[in-house]
Amino acid sequence: MSTRVVTGKVRFSYFSALTARKNEMNGKEEFSTQVLVPKTDTETVNQLKAAAKAALTAKFGDKIPKTVRNPLRDGDTETKSDGSPLGPEYAGHYFFNTKSTAKPGAVDAHGHDIIGSQDIVSGDFGRVSLNAYAYDQAGNKGVSYGLNPAAESVDSDW
Q: State residue 74's pLDDT score.
A: 97
Q: How confident is the model at residue 158 (pLDDT cuts 50, 70, 90)?
A: very low
Q: State residue 90's pLDDT score.
A: 96
Characterize the bridge pairing of strands 106-107 and 10-22. unpaired
Q: Does pLDDT of 65 surpass 50?
A: yes
pTM of the model: 0.86
Type of residue numbered 20: A
Nearest to 12 by CA among 136, 103, 99: 99
Q: Does pLDDT of 144 surpass 90?
A: yes
Q: State residue 152's pLDDT score.
A: 53
Q: Strands, DSSP E only, in the chain?
A: 4-6, 10-22, 29-38, 73-74, 93-100, 106-107, 125-127, 129-137, 140-147, 152-155
Domains and CATH numbers, the chain: 4-155 (2.40.50.140)
Q: pLDDT exceeding 90 applies to what percent of the chain?
A: 48
Q: State residue 15's pLDDT score.
A: 83
pLDDT in tens, 87-121: 999 999 999 999 888 888 777 777 777 766 567 78
Asked if 138 and 109 count as a contact pair (C-beta separation under 8 A), the reply is: no
Q: Strands, DSSP E only, in 23-116?
A: 29-38, 73-74, 93-100, 106-107
Query: What does the alpha-carbon distance between residue 108 and residue 130 come to, in Å, rounded to a whole number?
Result: 18
